[in-house]
Structure 1
């Protein structure tokens, strides 16, 4: 029976990965930051099957202690300040967690158990101002946010520890992946939550940023399977995990509303663009320039050919099903919320 240690276990990816590893018979340990109120987040439903260790990515001693307690055979580093907008407001904190924190974790592994296999959650945001379309493992990086820059450090320090110390250390360059467990601060979940509330008549409209931004969207459950596969190989390497399909934010909005039986009709362009409910004529989407990034990432499109060939990985959940799952989940949550409020 293998031991696995997951940082960021209470988040979207951490919860799906924890479920996957439990299914495969692992002892699963998860790192949590100590708070005044214990919050198990997305793993609340399986918390009794997990082993929690209090530690922090900015505190190397606590990570060494976590390694000693877990004696992990595999470490999955999913902990991050992962919201791009927040990285502009908290650039130093983002760097401490997303960049230096990776070094802290690698040092803990090197100190306690160098045979442990390590997965680093890299990101398509490292490509930023894209230098080639689609993006693959050899595409030059050009990050466009403090988040992307910090993640690029984490990516390169992982590669350096692999080549310098012989650690089995991999990076998964994951393109946008969403799910029903996504935080509401992310645009996809913001959209599906708003769709549910507009459908129920408790919200008039949703305000969004750049409707023309293009992303390669997949489902988190598919992507955590790729993480696990990377650590089962004979040799460590880095892989792009993506769908090789790109969609605009506008397309995501249209499909989400359609899932709730609402057809969106667009008027205007740029910051003056609005989306109207075709049946009622009411404005349900407004563009707000305050939600535009200081340096925009316009197009992300990943080529997962290497992962498909070497890992045997294939995404199973389509874009349409991803949006459907998210909308249906938020519809149920809002309906439940309204019933409780009516009691």
Structure 2
């Protein structure tokens, strides 16, 4: 039996690596891309033991001709767009690069799929950042967008590109509006990983200070390996739709810190300093989600919540001798 071909853009990142692992278990032939397939960091794929099972190809998403050529030569049945700049904080320093890598790249892929006229099902990685502050009403698929960062603006633009191509050209194209989802594969610049490794280092050395910004913000934190299953489930539907993917449980960053330091029997207040330079120009104070549509139509529901996520990330950090 011929294997289905799936193209995963951004395969070396957190979500891309876990998605590739999931698809391989589903007996797909997985093609992964990066700007330079020979020089790219494949650490996540190696940690999962799947780097030899993936066909790696070089691809610059803004090079429209090369995108079309790759689609025509490999003929994937599913394309997952997980590439692009992924840091909200970094987007304030690199707004143009963020918009190009998130929004323009999505438009390039959609137009390439339309031009090739192949029966491709397309997934675009959205973000709960598009909603801005949700206040006391959890965001669902009908909630209005009010992004508060260049990253959120880029994701909102990409969302509407997908929606337009789905409507105008009858493409099977969906956006997964994912709220925060973590794992040991998160880069160290992300605050969750910074907290986990900071707590680990304080416990191991008995010294040091962890400097953070605003602790009053609240987010819905889930477990990344679970979220990639929802991506795949979206593309199995007969009719393409957009979905909010989240746990439905929101906690403050202070609570996240408290749980993390409690893993080591430490009082976080003895180890954490507040530093305004780590605060963003604008930020979402409260982000909450209503993922009931995914539960109803995808038969998907988060099994792990913030406590379990922190526990798993802590165990992974402890396995690293430097606990950086």
TM-score range, shorter chain: over 0.9
Structure 1 unpaired stretches of 5+: 265-274, 277-283, 339-343
Q: Which moved more, 1:38-47 or 1:135-144?
A: 38-47
Distance 1:91 1:148, change over 3 A: same
Task: Check conservation: 1:176, 1:215, Cα contact below 8 A.
Answer: yes
Distance 1:33 1:190, change over 3 A: same
Task: Check conservation: 1:144, 1:295, Cα contact below 8 A.
Answer: yes
Distance 1:231 1:35, change over 3 A: closer
Query: Could you say which residue in structure 2 is the equivalent of 1:52?
Result: 56
Query: Could you say which residue in structure 1 is the equivalent of 2:305?
Result: 318
Distance 1:99 1:260, change over 3 A: same
Task: Check conservation: 1:194, 1:203, Cα contact below 8 A.
Answer: no
**Structure 2 CA distance for aligned equivalents of residues 35 and 27 of structure 1:** 17
Query: Could you say which residue in structure 1 is the equivalent of 2:286?
Result: 299
Q: CA RMSD, aligned part only?
A: 1.5
Task: Check conservation: 1:11, 1:41, Cα contact below 8 A.
Answer: no
**Structure 1 CA distance for aligned equivalents of residues 220 and 304 of structure 2:** 13
Q: Which moved more, 1:106-115 or 1:85-94?
A: 106-115
Query: Could you say which residue in structure 1 is the equivalent of 2:155?
Result: 151
Aligned residue pairs: how many? Answer: 319
**Structure 2 CA distance for aligned equivalents of residues 80 and 325 of structure 1:** 26
Q: 2:12 aligns with which of 10, 13, 21?
A: 10
Does residue 207 (structure 1) correspond to residue 211 (structure 2)? The answer is yes
**Structure 2 CA distance for aligned equivalents of residues 70 and 79 of structure 1:** 19
**Structure 2 CA distance for aligned equivalents of residues 201 and 318 of structure 1:** 29
Query: Could you say which residue in structure 1 is the equivalent of 2:126?
Result: 122
Partner SS state of residue 200, structure 1:
helix
Structure 2 unpaired stretches of 5+: none
Q: Which moved more, 1:68-77 or 1:13-22?
A: 68-77
Cα deviations across residues 64-90 of structure 1 (Å, max 9, x unaligned)?
122123211000100120111111111
Structure possessing the higher radius of gyration over alpha carbons: 1
Give matches, 1:1-343, under 5 Å.
1-34=3-36, 37-44=39-46, 45-130=49-134, 133-201=137-205, 204-264=208-268, 275-276=269-270, 284-333=271-320, 335=321, 337=322
TM-score (norm. length: structure 1)? 0.90
TM-score (norm. length: structure 2)? 0.95
